[in-house]
Structure 1
């Protein structure tokens, strides 16, 4: 138990940024599986993004990630690969600490309630498949952009939309009266909500991805900044539509703490999209992020949602 508390404070807070606030708002029974799921997903994301490591090795490690949850031999192989091939390249101290403590995170997984084993394994499988496809598409096959809207939305579903469905599963396992909405409709809204949040991340990070030779938006010429910005206008509108599903999802939740935690990211995402609507390419390069005053305002609004 002390180790879990330590991971939550020393590791989770460091790598989760604003999402840490969302996790703290959750009811106790939801907090542990969501916290653990986030740490595991963030670890796989760090593996996927360590571009100093050959793409084939990153893909191989991600292929081991979900099996390592339940297969101790695979887990040992993965931990050793990470120790020898990934940790030394981490310039972010918080992400380095996460990889150094990954074996402890896996041990936390061993101790959680049984229903959460499968829920976390399912969502990690989706996330890792999306990350592996990302590596193959951009790093191995050297494509400059995703081929079409379906490819982008599929990727966003794998790495984030599936998290919306995971959120529903955790909610219902923690409280059988979690939502007023029919479960299938709730899962659909949660999936769309996650897609919207991932689109906001992509739209905010366009210059960083451009500098790395990739564009997640489906454009004909990924080297044309003006074309990327035109495509971004269209995808910001789509992101708004998906984020509205997050508000719909949140309104259906009966328990107050769960509702506040669920709606807060949607409110922050909506504010971010407003900033992106006004941002130039140079603004994006400097970084577009809602300020603390806006986050506090969103929190106050969420408390009475």
Structure 2
């Protein structure tokens, strides 16, 4: 097995281990897109694990995120510098974070710059909100935070669709799509986040306000996919949206999440369309 083939196999394995929402739709993409979107997801998940780590002090997280952001801005990612950066904490990080450089290697060279750019902006934004201890006081704060941690995923995917076959999508709608998915996650994980002292609901907002925010942004996701004609890209975008909407319904009904059977039935229904 060649080096690239081994890296691609490792990427698929790590992707399956780390992603509940995107693993299935990524597997439905054609080969070039599968590697590209898989690489992009793993890069962003790598830094997400730094932001979310429960044992690292805030100052350490900020330093690691900003330093990684700076490395991603360079024309060529310095793998040795990255390893030196994370080595003091290597035992704390999962494989997806330790191998950031590998995920960049499986991405086509003519799109990897866009992925590095979006991931770099995300890392800086995560550092900013880590420094603020994720205290979201206004809707503007919520919009900014969800842009950094999820809207940028939408921006990056729109860049990939454009690169792949000139599929044009609206970037503002893409950001709304990301925000909608993130808002659903925030609602689902509200108690868990509270246990670690994090509150993502703005001052004066109720849980119902967060449901409204999620639904408004998922409406933008519905409009976003109207411009997509390429079938495997369309399927990729439809599945997370459908799962998010059904998760929202489950949460409103007092359930913690969708059942595995419900997830499988939702995916099967989309594939039959």
* TM-score normalized by the length of structure 2: 0.90
Secondary structure at the residue paired with 1:215? Answer: coil
Residues in 1 aligned to 2:108 and 2:38: alpha-carbon distance in whole angstroms: 14
Question: Equivalent of 1:77, from 78, 81, 97?
Answer: 81
Partner of 2:260: 292
Residues in 2 aligned to 1:199 and 1:14: alpha-carbon distance in whole angstroms: 22
Partner of 1:209: 193
* CA gap 1:36/1:73 in 2 versus in 1, 3 angstroms: closer
Partner of 1:150: 140
- Alpha-carbon shift at residue 216 of structure 1 (Å): 0.8
- Give the number of aligned pairs: 269
Secondary structure at the residue paired with 1:115? Answer: coil
Contact 1:36 1:109 survives alignment (8 Å): yes
* 2:155 equivalent to 1:200: no
Partner of 2:119: 124
Residues in 1 aligned to 2:27 and 2:129: alpha-carbon distance in whole angstroms: 31
Query: 5 Å matches for 1:22-61?
Result: 22-61=25-64
* CA gap 1:304/1:244 in 2 versus in 1, 3 angstroms: farther
Deviation string 1:42-95 (CA, Å, 9 cap, x unpaired) is 11011112232221121111112133234778543332332322x3335xxxxx
Partner of 1:255: 230
- Alpha-carbon shift at residue 111 of structure 1 (Å): 5.6
Provide structure 2 residue ranges, at least 5 long, that are not aligned to the other structure.
none
Residues in 2 aligned to 1:73 and 1:123: alpha-carbon distance in whole angstroms: 14
Provide structure 1 residue ranges, at least 5 long, that are not aligned to the other structure.
91-95, 221-229
Deviation string 1:232-271 (CA, Å, 9 cap, x unpaired) is 1111112112112222222321111111111110100000
Partner of 1:161: 151
Partner of 1:135: 130
Contact 2:235 2:270 survives alignment (8 Å): yes
Contact 1:64 1:74 survives alignment (8 Å): no
- Alpha-carbon shift at residue 2 of structure 1 (Å): 2.0
Secondary structure at the residue paired with 1:295? Answer: helix
Residues in 1 aligned to 2:50 and 2:246: alpha-carbon distance in whole angstroms: 30
Secondary structure at the residue paired with 2:136? Answer: coil
Partner of 2:162: 172
Partner of 1:93: none
Partner of 1:14: 17
Residues in 1 aligned to 2:247 and 2:105: alpha-carbon distance in whole angstroms: 37
Residues in 1 aligned to 2:67 and 2:21: alpha-carbon distance in whole angstroms: 29
Secondary structure at the residue paired with 1:276? Answer: helix
* TM-score normalized by the length of structure 1: 0.81
Contact 2:235 2:271 survives alignment (8 Å): yes
Question: Equivalent of 1:66, from 62, 66, 69?
Answer: 69
Residues in 2 aligned to 1:71 and 1:206: alpha-carbon distance in whole angstroms: 39
Partner of 1:301: 269
